[in-house]
Structure 1
Amino acid sequence: MAPLLLFQNSYVIITPLHFLNACVLDNNTSAFPYAHGKDTWKYAAENPGHNKFFDEAMACETRRTFPAVLNGCAELFTGVNSVVDVGGGDGTLLRILIKKCPWIHGINLNLSHMLSSAPESIPVS
């Protein structure tokens, strides 16, 4: 839980809250560029430390919530042969899914800077 809480309370994530008024007045959809001069994904691409922090937070949330989805709705994956996780970060969700449903072929589709830290855990055939 620590990675998620630390990320949510980090300077990078809290600072945009100070720009919400500008965002609303300019009818913009995100305060992040006001605070950091670029959108979230460009910022992550240019800041490997923040990118790693983000990946750890998302993986933490996935480990906390996705097993409950699998335990409560495992039948959703009956007959599913492959899953593409678009924006799958370091592949945490796919590793959990494939451990529970080993017949599924998982593909983690993401930006190259996000995949660079992902462990290779799914054989490519």
Structure 2
Amino acid sequence: MLRRLNMVVFFVLKVVIIIQLSVGSRNQLVSENNPLPVYIVGGDVPTKSVAFSTYRVHEDENGIFQSIEWKRTDGTLAKKSTLSGGTSPLYEKRIVTHYDTDGITVTETVAYDQFYNDRGKWTHEVIADE
């Protein structure tokens, strides 16, 4: 299931992401292509739905896009995910950067270590130690 979600994130040209309130104090991130919720931890509770356009950039020699950018309707950058370290297709890290409404000011950065099975297939990622 996690691999399928990763494939959706890295290989879908445009995904509409909707942030919605759930019962209680939890927030859910729900993709149009993946109805299973991913819970958002921390930050302000959104009071309305937010939609982003998704762009894949920097395709490597193996057809893997090294970056994915999520932009708001005004064109400002909301979030960016970048693969780095190692060699394609076995990248070692994924850095997720969140931006303020100006699209420039970084509000949060999270690094994830990437893990692969013995056949070189991506299996999971874990928040990296800082």
Q: Confirm or deny a common fold (TM above 0.5).
A: no
Query: Aligning the two structures, in what range does the TM-score lie when normalised by the shorter sequence?
Result: under 0.3
More helix as a share of residues: 1
Which structure has the higher relative contact order (CA within 8 Å, separation 6+)? Answer: 1
TM-score of the aligned structures, taking structure 2 as reference length = 0.22
Higher Cα Rg: structure 1 or 2?
1
TM-score of the aligned structures, taking structure 1 as reference length = 0.23
